[in-house]
Amino acid sequence: MQEKHSSHKAFHDQFNNCVDVIEHCGGTLVNCKDVESERSVLSLTFQTATKEQITQAKQTAKYKLLGVSYLMCVYQSRFGKLLEDTEKLTSLVLTSS
């Protein structure tokens, strides 16, 4: 979580460092469900998808997760309206699915 007096750049660097540590230690930020969702958006199956398409689906899922995670960790009073709008949009998309 971003501390009240930390700069946006300092928090961004700290967030990216945490991601780098997870990946360096062999961790992953997405699970099969995330990749499956991205793959289905592209109308691909594991049998028809190329290695590059699966890699792209993993990257897209990762970027979406990181974007939401970042927003959820920033200092709320600075980005509160953006978080509210994102939350509303997300619930609309999930409801319509």
Structure tokens at 24: 């360096």
68 in a domain, yes or no?
yes
pTM value is 0.65
Burial bucket for residue 29 (CB in 10 Å: 0-12, 13-18, 19+): middle
Per-residue confidence of the chain (97 residues) as pLDDT tens digits? 778 788 878 888 998 999 999 999 998 888 777 777 777 777 777 777 888 888 888 888 888 888 888 877 877 766 677 777 777 777 776 666 5
Q: What was the pLDDT predicted at 78?
A: 67
Q: How many domains does the chain contain in total? A: 1
75 in a domain, yes or no?
yes
**Residues 6 or more apart from 8 whose CB is under 8 A from it?**
74, 78
Cβ atoms 46, 39 nearer than 8 A: yes
The radius of gyration computed from the CA coordinates of the chain, to the nearest angstrom, equals 16
Range of the domain at 28: 8-96
Q: How far is CA 51 from CA 13, 43, 62, in A?
A: 31, 15, 17
2 in a domain, yes or no?
no
